[in-house]
Amino acid sequence: MSIRAEHEIHQRRKGRNVGVGLMLAGFVVLVLALTFVKITSGDFELPRVEDAG
């Protein structure tokens, strides 16, 4: 007999975890795309570094 029987609760948790994982992955892709668009748009400027010398 299996020590760790697959319970309906495990299936629910698995579905939830997969869903959260996919959403986090989507969020990372979205932030990446946003960053790319922001730094390639015309009005983006890097902060000026003052000459310490």
Partner 1 sequence: MTDVSYQNTQQTTEATLGDYFALMKPRVMQLVVFTALVGLLAAPVAVHPVIAIASILFVAIGAGASGALNMWWDADIDQVMLRTAKRPIPAGKVTPDEAKMLGFALSGMSVMMLALSANLLAAFLLAFTIFFYIVIYSAWLKRSTPQNIVIGGAAGAFPPVIGWVIATGSMSIEAWLMFALIFMWTPPHFWALALFMKADYHDAGVPMLTVTHGRTSTRKHILIYTVPLVILAVGTGFTAIGGPVYLAIALVLNALFLKGAFDIWRRDEAQSDADGYAVEKKFFKLSLWYLFLHFGAILAEALLPVTWGVWA
Chain residues that interact with partner 1, rule: CB under 8 A: 9, 12-13, 15-16, 19-20, 30, 33-34, 36-38, 41
Listed in sequence order, the DSSP H helices in the chain are: 8-40
CB of 30 to partner 1, least distance (A): 6
Hey, what amino acid is at 18? Answer: V
CB of 52 to partner 1, least distance (A): 30
CA distance 53 to 16: 56
Give 44 or 48: the residue with its C-beta nearer to partner 1: 44
